[in-house]
Amino acid sequence: MEGVNLMDNRFIQGLKINWERLERGSYIKEIPSLKNLSELMIQSNITFFVGENGTGKSTLLEAIAVAYGFNPEGGTKNFNFSTQDTHSSLGNAIVLVRGAIRPKDGYFLRAESFYNVASQIDSYERDDPGYLSYYGGKSLHKQSHGESFLALIQNRFHREGLYLLDEPEAALSPQRQLTLLITICQLAKEGAQFIIATHSPILLGIPNADILSFDGDIVKHISYEDTESYQVTEMFINNKEYLLNQLLN
Ligand SMILES: Nc1ncnc2c1ncn2[C@@H]1O[C@H](COP(=O)(O)OP(=O)(O)OP(=O)(O)O)[C@@H](O)[C@H]1O
């Protein structure tokens, strides 16, 4: 298959973790995939974090966001709101290896705090009427979860931007995940960089993306076909009767 011709224009090229900066007894020191991690190279404009629930993907993605200066609950670098103080201290222990070029734009999006991001956008619109036009002109709260998520991505994401996305598929139908896939590929071709934690067998299919698995006690590169998201989906679709019989009887 012909791959996406990605530009080598990474704003984040890697990271180092200074473990001594983390407080004693931090739960992060017990996460198997992370506790042995001292350096990680980010090798592609599109990097996926995959792995079983609880393997540390969101923890590392959020830490990268914090180290880059994003609001830990989501938004652009200018978003400044906090509904709860639950983000980990890993962001303070990470040193990012930055590329020569700075992104012109950026966004940290997490499915779980998207509601608060939408509220914050409404609040900016109240202070600065017209602000919503950057998001398609309609309050994200007046659209369905999937519609608003896609509206934000399609209106707000640009080439030469840095985008950190935590399970962006959560609200999207399979068809809309394909739309997201096209948007990501197009923007990455034009210079944007994405780091995405996902379980979506659709998004993971983006050709030439780098897939990092958090299963086990090291973070390692794997192929699309080796992801559990692909394997379980493939097994279910191709052996549905057999599988259901095994599972249910
Ligand atoms: N505030 C916290 N205090 C203690 N442990 C935590 C805290 N937040 C997360 N953890 C633990 O850290 C581990 C990694 O969580 P994380 O959210 O990074 O997983 P994940 O790979 O993103 O999972 P998922 O796919 O379910 O989103 C989990 O075992 C989780 O229970």
For 1-42, write each residue's pLDDT tens digit. Answer: 445 555 567 999 999 999 999 988 899 999 999 999 999 999
In this predicted structure, what is the pLDDT of residue 84? Answer: 65
Q: Is 30 in the pocket of ligand 1 (CB under 6 A)?
A: no
Q: Is 54 in the pocket of ligand 1 (CB under 6 A)?
A: yes
Q: Note whether residue 50 is domain-resident.
A: yes
Question: Is residue 3 in a domain?
Answer: no
What is the per-residue pLDDT across 126-135, written as a single tens digit (0 to 9) for each? 988 988 888 8
Side-chain half-sphere exposure of 113, counting CA atoms within 13 A: 23
DSSP label of 177: H
The verdict on ipTM greater than 0.90 is yes
User: pLDDT (tens digit, 9 = 90+) per residue, 44-72?
Assistant: 999 999 999 999 999 999 999 999 999 88
Q: Give a yes or no: residue 119 inside a domain.
A: yes
Residue range(s) defining the domain that contains residue 147: 12-248
Most ligand 1 atoms within 8 A of CB, residue of 31, 33, 35, 59 to mutate: 59
For residues 211 and 47, give the distance between their C-alpha atoms in angstroms, rounded to a whole number: 6
Look up the CATH number of the domain holding residue 19.
3.40.50.300
Q: How crowded is residue 152: how many other Cβ atoms within 10 Å of its Cβ? A: 22
- Assess whether the C-beta atom of 207 lies below 6 angstroms from ligand 1: no
Q: Is 229 in the pocket of ligand 1 (CB under 6 A)?
A: no
Q: What is the mean pLDDT of residues 180-197?
A: 96
Mean pLDDT across 193-222:
97
Atom of ligand 1 nearest to the CA of 31: 13
Segment 82-110 mean pLDDT: 86
